[in-house]
Chains A and B, each alone.
Chain A
Amino acid sequence: MNDKLLLGRSIETGSWVHKLDARAKITGMLLYVAVILLSRSWMAMALLALFSIAVMISTRIPLKYFLKAAKPLRYLMLFIFIVQLLSVKEGSVWLSIGSLSLHDGGLRLGSFAVIRMLFLITFTALLTFTTTPGKLNQGLEGILSPFKKLGLSPDRITLMLSIALRFIPTILDEAQIIMKAQASRGADLNELPLKEKGRMLVSLLVPIITSAFRRAQDLVYSMEARGFRMDAPRSQYHRLRWGAADTVFVIMFVVMGVAVSLV
């Protein structure tokens, strides 16, 4: 029961974005990164914000969930802002205290960095919010399939990724159960002094790692028991289908890229 963890959780609302082909969404996200990097003026930033928020609203997922996804990185963003502000010595000085002087350029670049990061995280959260992990994997497999010729095995990579993602919440739940068991026996993290807290957290590592290994072993057996073989040809339950909406979705990002680099 982790209400704080939004990573890798899909939120079903049945919007048009949900119905898109996962490959289109992944391509869109990659293009979005390019769009972010191409935005170099206040005008472009405004356009980027308008576009991003419009797409987010169209998923019918409350905006606060996107914001929550970025919340863990708020201090990093603040840090980047401050570093930019202090280190960039361009443009006119708007504040100087002793040897310290703050320049226009620093303010501008600092704000840009924060805006870029904010949109990068909130918008790419859209991918996991609107796509179930299974479909996401299929999409990734589809995108990576050209690498087969280079001797890489996309199924292997996506299998690894999907198992890793699938078990993050499970392992967190397990940690929580052990913490509950410890609390029940008189070692409540919330009531312990700081030093003890650290010791308790370390003591969590051993049982969690051993149980992760045990779980992995069981998973291998249960997959093999059901006839799974690596690299064997497999049919798929859901087929990926590329439709007109997917093309439109991808083109939207290309247009945005052109637009932000022009303004």
Chain B
Amino acid sequence: MAIELQQVSYTYAERSLWKQTALHGIDLSIKQGSIVGIAGATGSGKSTLLQLFNGILKPTQGTVRVLDVTIKAGEKSPKLFPLRRRVGLVFQFPEQQMFEETVEKDLCFGPLNFGMSLDEAKERARKAMNDMGLDLKLLDRNPFRLSGGQMRKAAIASVLAMEPDVVVLDEPTATLDPISRAELIALLVRLCREQGRTIIIVTHRMDELLPYADSWIVLNEGSTAFQGSVKELAADPAILERCGLTVPQSLRYWRAVADRFGLDGENPRLTAESLAELIASLPAGKRDAHE
């Protein structure tokens, strides 16, 4: 397991009048080398959960186990430096994550901290820029002079440049145009399938991740409302509505087709192409019987 949470709760501003419990008694496990989607209405605790994954927040109750590091509530945590090298976290608002004078310096920040030489770090920065489809000319630019979409890509690149084993992203596609969104998802899928990295993505656009995610976690008011494979989610998408989300189009289409033709045991087809293929492959008699 890459990440395992046992009975984890997190309370902001504990011991004050403004205390607020963001997570209650979360149990979850994330397999190494898998793509995991996290969904949930605003304020359901998604961002808090992510910050537990690299020790930025420490659980106020329970145990968080990430790779070989264990962080237990109430105990002094081990040095988190090695953990942060292996778990890269992309925050929700990229403009709050860039702090150096040039994009290049920002991208080198992580690798340099983790003991890489300047040349190596620059090499990593270039590679990450290429991966994110950013023009290398932007390297000398001040991060605050980038457009919103470029800034987000640069912020993601700055984390990818550290080549972490676990990549955690908080709504990475939020301000990207449709083409960049698809490219980013494709890149992350490649990182997972080809290099065995674990990818964890919080998203409000479940549709774009559904065809690729191995499993999903749905949060509702600080607790896990669902945890399981896409197949399980596709069997009962209504759970999403109970959590204040809408059921994504691809799941609705799949449900409609599966209900009509009695395909419940099958793997869900969540792209237009695969669904069309499936319908076309159905025996003609079966298709017509319902007309």
Contact = CB atoms under 8 A, between A and B. Distances in A.
Contacts of B17: 11, 65
Interface string A175-186: 001101111111
Nearest to A214: B144
Q: Interface residues of A: mostly helix, strand, loop or mixed?
A: helix
B113 A3 contact: no
A184 B18 contact: no
A174 interface: yes
Contact of A185 (B14, B80, B95, B159): B159
A1 B91 contact: no
Contacts of B114: 186
Most buried by A among B16, B93, B96: B96
Contacts of A118: none
Contacts of A67: none
A203 B100 CA distance: 8
A96 interface: no
A188 interface: yes
Nearest to B82: A186
Most buried by A among B51, B95, B101: B95
A57 B158 CA distance: 52
B158 A191 contact: no
Contacts of B88: 184-185
A66 to B, nearest CB: 13
B54 interface: yes
Interface string A35-53: 0000000000000000000
B72 interface: no
Contacts of B81: 186, 188, 191
Nearest to A9: B18
B286 interface: no
A207 interface: yes
A31 interface: no
A206 interface: yes
B216 interface: no
Interface string B120-162: 0000000000000000000000001000000000000011001
Nearest to B48: A1
Given A1-B13, A181-B91, A188 B84 contact: yes
A99 interface: no
Contact of B56 (A178, A184, A211): A184
A154 B216 CA distance: 56
A204 interface: yes
Nearest to A6: B16
B84 A181 contact: no
A2 B16 CA distance: 10
B97 A3 contact: no
Nearest to A180: B56
B99 interface: yes
Interface in B87-117: 88-89, 91, 93, 95-101, 109-110, 113-114
Interface string A8-31: 000100000000000000000000
B79 interface: yes
Given A11-B17, A187-B113, A181 B97 contact: yes
21 contacts: A1-B12, A3-B19, A174-B96, A180-B51, A182-B109, A183-B84, A184-B54, A184-B89, A185-B110, A185-B113, A185-B158, A185-B159, A186-B84, A186-B114, A188-B80, A188-B81, A188-B84, A203-B100, A206-B99, A207-B98, A211-B96
Given A207-B144, A214-B144, 8 more contacts: A2-B13, A11-B17, A183-B80, A185-B158, A187-B113, A191-B81, A203-B100, A207-B98
